[in-house]
């Protein structure tokens, strides 16, 4: 049964919250013509109706608390309750960003701590917590690169090299920076090869963007040589850190020759995805790029001309003449940073290293279990995720990756990432993460085997899936052809 919208439930005069009555009419202090002619037609509903409406909607969502989400490149870890509880404390949640520095020392300290810890984990020199999401981190880093090139009078560089396995945000962020994308074809092993790079590298290249490990779940083994070539050509190296969960405590982007890297706190550091956000996409850079980071930066009081107080006090450094400027309103998605701070503080270095090991072990366990059942175009040992292909099944039985994915929903399992990376036909990209028990992994493997058996024996079961979700397959063609983007009175 469909859940009526709040607008369908609305009836004039119903209220949830009542307020004291204003004493003055707005006409007394507002100029004529500034007042709204018609009130906004917001829903008029009572609190019990609101509570029940959202409780019903909540029941219709798959979510990490309830469901396994082997969603490649998304790192859908369990979100620890302690992080949530801490972020909800008034000491953080009810802190106003315009508070005088003397009265925000805790926040500055937390930001300074997290910056220091991320720098240590990544092997980089300086961190900015300001980008509010991964794509914003990419854009911020490229803007920093551009400012750095410009500061050398090197303004002719216009191209950024991006492998064909990259996330869509990479080319989109390049375009946002006013640059052009050169797509680099991966080699037959699924990696970037120095030979292929040589063909497209030139003195007009501003940067190379690599995801490491890449979206096939493979470590870019030539990364050092690539970085040397890039730097030789005067280009900078960018690491898309979406897959950082494969590296914690095992390898550091800073050692691989990267000049900047972004981190998705909502992936690697266990903060929730919120059904699409908010996330947080801090960036870490090498020392030479630090002056270009967004302002303000946290510094020790006394390092500049002002001082905010006693020993150990921290303050904002706004005087950053080379900074690229602001990339969001205040200091980044702070409450997300609080959660990541709590996560790192509870894990410690050994815990993070173990998390990565367990994540890589889980991915390989699934790879080994399903390698006879589906195509595995790049059969090497994978890192935190593995990419299968349903190509043979599609060719022989007309069952596609999407059909397998939709059937998984009937088992209470969220589908893997599909049809990505673009170089794998009928791709199913599986990232189990370290927070799923072996029992869950085994259930997933069993479900996949059963689904693949059904694909051969009763393919319509897959074609018509899902069967158990609140709605069946949604007509996305109709939605896009005749967009209905808001409720209307019928």
Partner 1 sequence: MELPNDRRYTQSHEWAKLDGDVVRVGITEFAVEQLGDIIFLDLPEVGTAVRAGAAFGEIESVKAVSDLISPVTGEVREVNEKLMDDLDAFADDPWEAGWMIVVAPEDPSELDGLLDADGYAAKAEEA
Partner 2 sequence: MPGTPHSDRDRREMLAALGIDAADALFADIPQSLRATAMPELPPPLTEMELRDEARRVSDLNRNLDDLVCFAGGGIYDRFIPAIVGSVASRPEFVTPYTPYQPEASQGTLEAIFEYQTMISELTALPVANASLYDGATAMGEAVLMAADATGRSRALMAGALAPAARQATRTYAEASGVQIAEVPWDDASGQTDLGALAEMLGDDVACVALQQPNYFGCLEEMAEASWLAHEAGALFIAMVEPISLGVLAPPGEYAADIAVGEGQPLGLPPGFGGPLLGMFACTEQHLRRMPGRVVGRSVDADGKVAYCLTLQTREQHIRRARATSNICTNEGLCALAASVYLAAMGPQGLREAALLGAERAHELQEAMADSGLQPRFGGAFLNEFALRLPGDAEATVRALCEDGWLVGPTLGRDYPELSDCVLVAATERRTREEIAGLAEALQRAARPED
Binding site for partner 1 (CB under 8 A): 419, 476-477, 480-481
State the binding partner of 156 from partner 2, partner 1, none, CB within 5 to 8 A by kind.
Answer: none
Residue number with CB closer to partner 1 (116 or 478): 478
User: To the nearest whole angstrom, how small is the minimum distance from the Cβ of residue 294 to partner 2?
Assistant: 8
3-state secondary structure 158-175: CEEEEECCCCCHHHHHHH
State the binding partner of 274 from partner 2, partner 1, none, CB within 5 to 8 A by kind.
Answer: partner 2
Residue span binding partner 2 (CB under 8 A) among the ranges 196-204, 285-293, 454-462, 474-482: 474-482
State the binding partner of 398 from partner 1, partner 2, none, CB within 5 to 8 A by kind.
Answer: none
Burial class (CB in 10 A: 0-12, 13-18, 19+), 204: middle
Instruction: Rule CB under 8 A: choose which of 226, 405, 430, 462 binds partner 2.
Output: 405
- HSE-up of 47 (CA within 13 Å, CB side)? 3
User: To the nearest whole angstrom, how small is the minimum distance from the Cβ of residue 427 to partner 1?
Assistant: 13
State the binding partner of 27 from partner 2, partner 1, none, CB within 5 to 8 A by kind.
Answer: none
CA 484/CA 480 separation, integer angstroms: 9
Distances (CA, A) of 305 to 299, 300, 315, 317: 12, 11, 11, 10
283: nearest Cα among 249, 259, 247, 301? 259
Strand, helix or coil at 427? strand
Q: Using CB under 8 A, which residues numbered 407 to 446 contact partner 2?
A: 409, 414-415, 420, 434-438, 440-441
In sequence order, the 6+-apart residues with CB closer than 8 A to the CB of 2 are: none
Beta carbons within 10 angstroms of residue 228's beta carbon: 14
Pairing of strands 314-317, 297-300: antiparallel
User: To the nearest whole angstrom, how small is the minimum distance from the Cβ of residue 30 to partner 1?
Assistant: 44
* Residue 222 near residue 257, CB atoms below 8 Å: no
Instruction: Rule CB under 8 A: choose which of 299, 300, 320, 353 binds partner 2.
Output: 353
The site for partner 2, by CB under 8 A, has a size of: 202
CA 244/CA 282 separation, integer angstroms: 13
User: To the nearest whole angstrom, how small is the minimum distance from the Cβ of residue 213 to partner 2?
Assistant: 8
Residue number with CB closer to partner 1 (30 or 479): 479
84 touches partner 2 by CB under 8 A: yes
Instruction: Rule CB under 8 A: choose which of 185, 274, 304, 453 binds partner 2.
Output: 274
Instruction: Rule CB under 8 A: choose which of 161, 236, 263, 355 binds partner 2.
Output: 355
Instruction: Rule CB under 8 A: choose which of 124, 127, 136, 390 binds partner 2.
Output: 136
Q: Using CB under 8 A, which residues numbered 444 to 473 contact partner 2?
A: 464, 466, 469-473
Q: Using CB under 8 A, which residues numbered 18 to 77 contact partner 2?
A: 18-24, 26, 29-31, 33-37, 39-45, 47, 50-51, 54-67, 69, 71, 74, 76
Q: Using CB under 8 A, which residues numbered 233 to 262 contact partner 2?
A: 249-252, 255-256
State the binding partner of 444 from partner 2, partner 1, none, CB within 5 to 8 A by kind.
Answer: none
Instruction: Tokens for 458, please give them.
Output: 């009763």
- In the stretch 362-391, what mask flags binding to partner 2 with x, by CB under 8 A? x-xx--xx----------xx-x--------
CA 364/CA 371 separation, integer angstroms: 10
Distances (CA, A) of 57 to 1, 54, 68: 11, 5, 19
Q: Using CB under 8 A, which residues numbered 163 to 222 contact partner 2?
A: 167-169, 171-178, 180-181, 218-219, 221
Beta strand extents in 129-196 (DSSP E only): 159-163, 180-184
CA 221/CA 193 separation, integer angstroms: 9
Residue number with CB closer to partner 2 (65 or 395): 65
User: To the nearest whole angstrom, how small is the minimum distance from the Cβ of residue 479 to partner 1?
Assistant: 8
383: nearest Cα among 188, 218, 210? 218
């Amino acid at each position: 049964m469909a859940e009526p919208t709040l607008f369908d439930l609305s009836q004039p005069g119903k209220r949830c919250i009542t307020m004291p009555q204003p004493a003055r009419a707005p006409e007394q202090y507002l100029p004529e013509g500034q007042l709204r002619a018609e009130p906004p037609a917001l829903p008029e509903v009572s609190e019990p109706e609101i509570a029940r409406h959202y409780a019903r909607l909540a029941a219709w969502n798959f979510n990490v608390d309830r469901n396994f989400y082997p969603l490649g490149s998304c790192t859908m870890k369990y979100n620890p309750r302690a992080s949530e509880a801490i972020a909800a404390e008034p000491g953080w949640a009810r802190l106003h960003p315009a508070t005088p520095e003397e009265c925000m020392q805790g926040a500055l300290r937390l930001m300074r701590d997290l910056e220091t810890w991320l720098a240590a984990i990544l092997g980089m020199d300086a961190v900015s917590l300001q980008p509010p999401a991964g794509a914003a981190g990419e854009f911020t880093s490229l803007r920093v690169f551009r400012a750095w090139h410009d500061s050398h009078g090197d303004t002719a560089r216009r191209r950024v090299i991006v492998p064909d396995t990259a996330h869509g945000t990479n080319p989109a962020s390049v375009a946002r920076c006013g640059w052009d994308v050169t797509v680099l074809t991966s080699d037959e092993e699924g990696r970037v090869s120095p030979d292929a790079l040589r063909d497209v590298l030139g003195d007009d290249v501003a940067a190379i963007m690599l995801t490491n490990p890449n979206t096939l779940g493979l470590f870019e083994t030539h990364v050092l040589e690539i970085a040397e070539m890039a730097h030789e050509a005067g280009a900078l190296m960018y690491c898309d850190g979406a897959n950082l969960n494969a590296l914690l405590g095992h390898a550091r982007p800073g050692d691989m020759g990267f000049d900047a890297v972004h981190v998705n706190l909502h992936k690697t550091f266990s903060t929730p995805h919120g059904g699409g956000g908010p996330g947080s996409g801090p960036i870490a850079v090498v020392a030479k790029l630090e002056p270009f980071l967004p302002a303000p930066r946290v510094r020790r009081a006394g390092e500049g001309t002002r001082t905010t107080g006693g020993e150990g006090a921290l303050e904002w450094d706004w005087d950053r003449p080379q900074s690229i400027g602001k990339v969001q309103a205040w200091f980044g998605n702070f409450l997300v940073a609080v959660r990541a701070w709590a996560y790192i503080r509870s894990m410690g270095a050994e815990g993070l290293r173990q998390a990565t090991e367990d994540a890589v072990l889980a991915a390989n366990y699934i790879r080994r279990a399903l390698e006879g059942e589906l195509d595995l175009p790049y059969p090497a040992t994978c890192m935190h995720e593995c990419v299968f292909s349903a190509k043979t099944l599609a060719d022989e039985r007309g069952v596609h990756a999407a059909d397998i994915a939709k059937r998984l929903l009937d088992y209470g399992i969220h589908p893997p990432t599909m049809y990505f990376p673009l170089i794998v036909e009928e791709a199913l990209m599986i990232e189990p993460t370290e927070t799923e028990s072996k029992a869950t992994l085994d259930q997933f493997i069993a479900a996949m085997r059963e689904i693949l058996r059904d694909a051969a024996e009763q393919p319509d079961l897959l074609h018509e899936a899902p069967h158990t979700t609140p709605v069946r397959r949604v007509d996305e063609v109709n939605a896009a052809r005749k967009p209905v983007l808001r409720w209307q009175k019928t």
